[in-house]
């Protein structure tokens, strides 16, 4: 409604469906562009890219809900993967599209009725683990093994290890970005565009801070586990097993990735814990 020289003119408001469609398109475009910037940084396994751009559908999941986030993430990852490979990439259709849709739809669904920063942290862990596990399983079992006929020389144990390894790689490289970068984006949107942000999200994001203890533990826990994994890969028979199936170079890369990522997460969490006690 606009007031012009005392006359009130009724302006048609955009429908909910049109707003959802716009949010899907923006989420997909931003996610595709952000993902493409790191599309050529692979995991230690040689495939599976580094993707900090997950902050984009995570933001849309909180602010706009499960449909824009899930559909936008699915379309965005398909666009990115297809641009990278130069054709409609079947690996993305088989694995990345369903995994991204499931993960970020669930992200928005879990926070749709009651948003708090504590629930945001918990939801980030649950959805990142689940979605990445789905993508890794579908990519290895259905795309690589069944569709392409690759990895047939690997034992079941080696295939399971590959799925879990990819899941861990994506989880530990995505988690700090989601927990550190997404909250300021949510706060900025709540302050700049309050009418577009749900009331509970707006109130909690502007009036509350991330709980330091929960945030720190959510970093330290995975960090310590990754450090232990790095030690196991380097010193135990697990490293011999990996080297036997995947080669010594991949074993060394996994060791370095585990120690580096574990160290970074542990340092971030420890800094927040110490800072809170000063």
In the prediction, which pLDDT does 11 show?
A: 41
CA atoms lying within 13 Å on the CB side of residue 12: 4
What is the number of other CB atoms lying within 10 angstroms of the CB of residue 278? 4
The model's pLDDT over 217-251, given as tens digits with 9 standing for 90+, comes to 999 999 999 999 999 999 988 889 999 989 999 99
What is the number of other CB atoms lying within 10 angstroms of the CB of residue 241? 16
pTM for this entry = 0.88
**Architecture per CATH, 17-210:** Orthogonal Bundle (1.10)
Rounded to the nearest 10 degrees, what angle do helices 97-110 and 66-85 cross at?
Answer: 160
In the prediction, which pLDDT does 113 show?
A: 83
Name, in order, each residue with C-beta under 8 angstroms of 100's C-beta and a sequence gap of 6 or more. Answer: 57, 70, 73, 74, 76, 77, 131, 135
Buried b (16+ CB within 10 A) or exposed e, 143-175: bbeeeeeebeebeeebbebbbebbbbbbbbbbb
The CA-atom distances, in angstroms, between 79 and each of 66, 82, 88, 99 are: 20, 5, 8, 15
Q: Which segments of the chain have a pLDDT < 50?
A: 1-13, 278
In the prediction, which pLDDT does 207 show?
A: 79
In the prediction, which pLDDT does 19 show?
A: 82
d(CA 203, CA 152): 53
Q: Token pair 């990754």 is at which residue?
A: 226
Give the start-end residues of each E strand in the chain.
2-4, 7-9
Number of residues that this document lists for the chain = 278
What 3-state DSSP class applies to 2?
strand
Counting beta carbons within 10 angstroms of the beta carbon of residue 265, is it exposed (0 to 12), middle (13 to 18) or buried (19 or more)?
buried
d(CA 260, CA 255): 8
């Amino acid at each position: 409604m606009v007031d012009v020289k005392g006359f009130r003119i009724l302006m048609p408001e955009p429908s909910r469906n049109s707003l959802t469609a716009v949010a899907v398109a923006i989420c997909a475009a931003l996610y595709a562009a952000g993902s493409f910037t790191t599309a050529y940084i692979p995991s230690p396994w040689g495939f599976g890219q580094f993707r900090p751009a997950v902050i984009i559908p995570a933001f849309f999941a909180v602010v706009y809900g499960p449909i824009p986030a899930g559909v936008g993430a699915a379309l965005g990852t398909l666009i990115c993967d297809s641009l990278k490979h130069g054709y409609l990439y079947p690996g993305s259709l088989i694995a990345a599209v369903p995994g991204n849709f499931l993960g970020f739809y669930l992200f928005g669904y879990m926070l749709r009725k009651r948003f708090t920063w504590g629930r945001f942290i918990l939801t980030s862990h649950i959805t990142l683990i689940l979605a990445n596990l789905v993508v890794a399983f579908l990519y290895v079992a259905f795309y690589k093994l069944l569709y392409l006929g690759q990895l047939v020389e690997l034992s079941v144990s080696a295939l399971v290890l590959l799925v879990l390894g990819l899941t861990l790689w994506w989880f530990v490289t995505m988690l700090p970005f989601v927990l550190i970068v997404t909250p300021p984006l949510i706060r900025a949107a709540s302050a700049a565009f309050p009418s577009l942000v749900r009331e509970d999200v707006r109130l909690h994001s502007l009036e509350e801070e991330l709980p330091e203890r929960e945030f720190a533990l959510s970093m330290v826990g995975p960090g310590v586990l990754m450090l232990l994994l790095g030690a196991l890969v380097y010193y135990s028979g697990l490293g011999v097993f990996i080297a036997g199936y995947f080669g010594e170079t991949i074993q060394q890369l996994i060791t370095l990735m585990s120690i580096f990522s574990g160290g970074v997460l542990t340092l971030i969490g420890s800094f927040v814990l110490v800072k809170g006690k000063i």
